[in-house]
Amino acid sequence: MVCGLCGAEDHPSRLASQHALAGAYQANGQIKEAVELLEHVVAVRKEVLAEDHPSRLASQHKLAVAYEANGQVKEAVRLMQYVVSAKQNTMRAGHPSRVVSEQVLSQWSEEDSSADQTAPHIRSSDTLEATRPKMNVDRMDNSPSSFLSGHQDSPEHRRQPRLSRMDRFIYRFRNKRHS
């Protein structure tokens, strides 16, 4: 049986797919396409979901990250500040989603203050990309649950950036293709 509403612009499955596709665009270096698609997803989710809905906040978080990758730093920081504030009002202090958003905002603030102290005129998306920590996927096994459990409190683990679900998916896909 085919669902007549599945093609609806605000259908949750369609929005989730568009959210995931934007992540794939970004991982592939298609930042402008990711920004455009995420702006659409966020606009639709603003119409249909509450301000503190986790899906809405997740899309806003991802859009802020895409803005930063696109060099739209002011927009990225402004949106991430909103996301952090909303998550602080609705999620417990140790909630993983809240912690990730807080860490991203903190990292951007640190990068911004260090760039301001050295040479503000050299701050660009190239500089941001050069200073962004690279993910160490060699340490990962193919199980997301083993990545998320176990050694999270070790100092070595804290130095490694957390991988998104999309990053783990891409890693597993590439390993299966090359084995």
pTM value surpassing 0.85:
no
CB 94 within 8 A of CB 84: no
**59 in a structural domain:** yes
Indicate if 106 and 43 belong to the same structural domain.
yes
Residue type, 179: S
Q: How confident is the model at residue 111 (pLDDT cuts 50, 70, 90)?
A: confident
Domain carrying residue 175: 134-179
Q: How many domains are there within the chain?
A: 2
State residue 3's pLDDT score.
Answer: 55
Indicate if 89 and 140 belong to the same structural domain.
no
How far is 99 from 2, CA to CA, in rounded Å? Answer: 40
Beta carbons within 10 angstroms of residue 127's beta carbon: 15
State residue 148's pLDDT score.
Answer: 41
Q: pLDDT > 70: what percent of the chain?
A: 59
**2 in a structural domain:** no
Q: In the block, which residue shows the tokens 């783990």?
A: 168
Indicate if 117 and 151 belong to the same structural domain.
no
**4 in a structural domain:** no
**145 in a structural domain:** yes
pLDDT at 44 over 50: yes
Indicate if 33 and 116 belong to the same structural domain.
yes
**5 in a structural domain:** no
